[in-house]
Structure 1
Amino acid sequence: MSERDLPLPIVTTPPNPRRFWSKVRRVVGKVPFVEDLVAAYFCAMDSNTPVYVRGVLFGAVAYFILPTDMVPDLLAMVGFTDDAAVLAAALTAVGSHMRPEHRDQARKTLHGWTEQA
C-alpha cells in the first residue's frame, strides 16, 4: 500500500514547537522516556521520513503536550504513564523508521538540559 492509498487523511503538521520544547524542559531528568520522545520528534520532523510515520509520531508528540489527557501529568509517579504508553505504541508501530541520527540529535539536544535538572 502506498501513502496515496491510505484511507484517512494524515496530518503532518507538527504540534506547537514552543509548547513541546517547554514541556520537555520541565520534565527532562524526571521522565525516563524523554530521549525517545525527542528522537521521535526529530524523526517526525525529518522530511525523509514517510508521511504515515510522521503522522503517527506527531500524534504521540501532540498527546504529550496536550494540557488534558487520560491521566493528569500532575499526579506524581503515574501522571506520565499514559504519555509513555502512547509513545510506546507509536514506536512499536513505526519505530523502525527512527534512524541513529534522530537518536544522536536527541541526545545532543538533551545533554545540557539533563545536567541542569
Structure 2
Amino acid sequence: MDAADISQHEEHFSEERFWKKVQKFSKKAGTSVVYAVLLLYYTLQKPDVPMKVKATIVGALGYFILPLDVIPDFAIGAGYADDLSVVLFALIQVAIYVDDATKRKAKDKLKDLFGENVDTSEIDSKLGRA
C-alpha cells in the first residue's frame, strides 16, 4: 500500500458522508478505528497541514467511507480490518501533524460516541506518543 493507493479514494470523501459513517458504524467499528479516523479528520482541519498531506488524509477517509471495501464492513470479526489498516497507514504518514490539541479533540468526540471509558493507547502507541 502506498500514497497512490490511498489517493484514489479521495472522490469518496465528504464531510456529510464522513459523519454519517462514523455515527452509523462507530459501535461496530470500535474505538481504535474511530479514534484513528477522528485523528485524521481533525488533522485535515488544520490550516498549516500541507496539501499533499491533506490529500493522503482525504484518500484514507474516502476509503473509510467507501461502501465497497476489500473486506465488507458487515463481515463479523474482520469487517473493519482493511479500514483500520488503510487509516493507520495514512495516520503514520501524517503523524508529525497530529499534535496534542488534535488528539484532545478526537478523544473528546470519542467520549461522546462511546462514553468516558475509552482506551486510545493502541493508536497512541503507533503514533510514538502516549
Contact (CA 8 Å) 1:42, 1:105: kept in 2 or not?
A: yes
Equivalent residue number for residue 104 of structure 1: 104
SS at match of 1:67: coil
- Paired residues of 1:43 and 1:49 also in contact (CA < 8 A): yes
Q: SS at the partner of 1:33?
A: helix
Structure 1 unmatched ranges of 5 or more = 1-9
AA aligned to 1:24 is: V
| Structure 2 equivalent of residue 16 of structure 1 | 14
Partner of 2:74: 74
How far is the alpha carbon of 1:112 from its aligned partner? 1.9
Once the two structures are aligned, what percentage of the paired residues are identical? 27
- 1:28 alignment partner, SS class: helix
Comparing 56-65 and 46-55, the one that deviates more? 46-55
Task: Pick which of 10-19 and 77-86 moved more.
Answer: 10-19
Larger relative helix fraction:
2
Amino acid at match of 1:34: V
**1:17-56 matches, cutoff 5 A:** 17-30=15-28, 31=30, 32-56=32-56
Q: Larger Rg: 1 or 2? A: 1
Cα distance change, pair 14–104 in 1 and its aligned pair in 2 (3 A)? farther
CA distance in 1, matches of 2:12, 2:69: 19
TM-aligned CA deviation for residue 28 of structure 1: 2.3
Q: Which runs of no fewer than 5 residues in structure 2 stay unpaired?
A: 1-6, 116-130
Mapped to 2, the partners of 1:96 and 1:15 lie a distance apart of 22
Does residue 88 (structure 1) correspond to residue 88 (structure 2)? The answer is: yes
Residues of 2 paired with 1:53 and 1:14: CA distance? Answer: 17
Q: Is the 8 A contact 2:33 2:83 kept in 1?
A: no
Determine the structure 2 residue equivalent to 1:65.
65
Determine if contact 1:14/1:45 at 8 Å carries over to the other structure: no
Aligned length: 107
**Range with greater deviation from structure 2 (12-21 or 36-45):** 12-21
TM-score (norm 1): 0.80
